Structure 1
Amino acid sequence: MAPFLLNSTAEFDSLPHKLYVRDIKTVLTPNDSQRVTLIVAGCYVILIFILWHVRFLSWIIYPFKLLTVGFHELSHALAGVLTCATIVSITLDPDEGGSTRMRGGVPAITLPAGYLGSSFIGGTLIACGFDINASKVACLVLGVFFLLTLYWARRSWSSWLTILFMCALIAICWIFAHSLPLRFFVLFLGVMSCFYSVWDIVDDTIARKINTSDASEFAQLCGCCPSKVWGFVWLVISLIFFAAGLLVGIAAFKDDFAQQNAKSENFLGGTPF
């Protein structure tokens, strides 16, 4: 068979693989509204880092820390349900700790689910934070998560206070300015959840500031690698979820602010105060 010859550079540029590369670049190139979202997400990372380490300011994000602990414990519980475990209770400790008690299940799945599940939730919320309607859907799903958490943590007063506070913030953000504040609130929850998950993994496994953790129990269960190795693996996965949330948000939600405002009024629209 004779070789296929190209008569010009234009023909080469029109090849399917060139078009595919161009499409990928176009999809992953942020527009103006997405650039604003990326800048805000970066500011959130810096702000959370500062508030996290300044003693007298850390109380500002205290409710959000408890919420991310709730995501961690809920992820344990959901993994337990998927592996036929019976969830006994979830506890959110005011000292920013938490525990999930269950009977049965598959420990090889339920143990890493806390770290990875909360980072996956964070990455998903980050992606939804690029669009108003997607943020509304994310909040509806969060409502289901809140109900499940309250069902399993119904004796934990800190769980009730945290979730009621978050529901109030969601409602306020929903009804103002065509729900635009809701988008950046969901983005903040996503960044916070990913940040907390990454910090939790580093603190519990790599830095090893506590004697026992999900990673240490997982290492004992597997018996092949120390907890620091598993911590590093989970850290990489958590960072991938964070990056994936940004990339999915850029690829999937290309509407500018005006288009999002118009569409949001037709989907559970808020009052434009």
Structure 2
Amino acid sequence: MLQAPDRASFRWLATSITISTMFMSLLFVVPAVQAAARPPVSPPPETSPTPAPTYPLTPNSLQIPVLYVAVIFFVLDFALWALPGARLVIAPFKLLTIGWHELCHMLVALLTGGEIISVSIDPNNGGCTRVEGGTPAAILSAGYIGSTLFGAGLILGGFDILAAKICSFVIAAGLAIPLILVRDKLTIILTVFYEGLLVGFWFIDHGSALRWYCLFVGIMNVFFALWDYLDDAYFKKANDSDCTQYSLLYPKTKPNHWALVWVTFEIIIFIGFILLGIAELKRTEDQMYSEAASFLPTR
């Protein structure tokens, strides 16, 4: 038989429920108050994306067009040098190229104790340096080596306006000096035209157009062994190519063997100086124009 709880029991039960309720309230309310009082957590700082690594031999946006134009100029130089009608148009540049080639023969001939008998340069018949004494192999090699390195230096002008400005003085002298020997009126007129074009390029986009002028002449000189051999093999020019002279110096070889050797050499030098230009003349547009403005600034 159940007994009804007395008043004391009810009082104890009510007190227990009240205390339990207050305790449970503290468990939920206090953490909520603490969370509200805590300062808001700031989002993680935004970090800029890590730039992609750049490599010295990776061309930038200013250098990529140079690579495409170099290929175009090689094809153009080949066509102008080989096509009968077009050959007349570039006669001044051919005289520059052939003249420098013969000058290299002359310098090494003198350095090796040789005596220069005669020198001739002609845009159609090529060049000829007659020497007595000296070291024949060194004298003969000097022509193609000198032409290739000279052209490679001009190619660097294709990567930078300041370099192109400096190279333009060399080209101007190279075009003018052969006029001492030239009597052909058309060649003289074309030389004056190309000199004027060179001067005019100084005033196009602060001299930027000079880069393409230097690149064109540079490629023509770098690959002179190829043009020289083709002139000899297919156009039967009066003066033998150096490849033919090598076959006479070393009778067991043929001109086409030497052409392969020297064209391979030219390709290696060409690629090497292209990579050198990419690595050492890497500029932003602002940097290139700022450096160019420090030397004979133009509009």
Picking from 265, 270, 293, the partner of 1:237 is 265
User: 2:228 — aligned with what?
Assistant: 200
Change (3 A) 1:46 1:158: same
1:247 matched residue in structure 2: 275
User: Is it true that 1:228 corresponds to 2:256 in the alignment?
Assistant: yes
What root-mean-square deviation, in Å, do the aligned CA atoms of Structure 1 and Structure 2 show?
A: 3.3
Give matches, 1:80-99, under 5 Å: 80-99=109-128
Alpha-carbon spacing, 1:44–1:146, altered in 2? closer, same or farther (3 Å):
closer
| TM-score for the superposition, normalised by structure 2 | 0.68
**1:133 matches 2:162:** yes
Task: Percent identity, please.
Answer: 36
Q: Which residue of 2 aligns with 1:8?
A: none
CA contact (8 A) 1:71 1:118 kept: yes
Q: Which aligned pairs between 1:77-226 and structure 2 lie closer than 5 A?
A: 77-142=106-171, 150=178, 154-157=180-183, 161=188, 166-204=194-232, 212-223=240-251, 225-226=253-254
- Structure 1: tracts of 5 or more residues without a match: 1-21
Residue 45 to residue 213, structure 1, CA distance change in 2 (3 Å): closer
Compare 178-187 and 131-140 and name the one that shifted more.
Answer: 131-140
Correspondence for 2:77: 48
Match status 1:35 vs 2:64: yes
Secondary structure of 1:101's aligned partner: strand
Distance 1:202 1:71, change over 3 A: same
Q: Which structure 2 residue ranges, 5 or more long, are not aligned?
A: 1-51
- Residue deviations 1:184-238 (CA, integer Å, cap 9, x gap): 1001101122344323235547x79579432333333345544433332112111
- CA–CA separation in structure 1 for the residues paired with 2:141 and 2:184: 24
Q: 2:98 aligns with which of 69, 73, 83?
A: 69
**More relative contact order in 1 or in 2 (CA 8 Å, sep 6+)?**
1
* Larger-gyration structure (1/2): 2
Distance 1:83 1:138, change over 3 A: farther
Measure, in 2, the Cα distance between the counterparts of 1:184 and 1:155: 28
Tell me the residue number matched to 2:4. Answer: none
Normalized against structure 1, the TM-score is what? 0.74
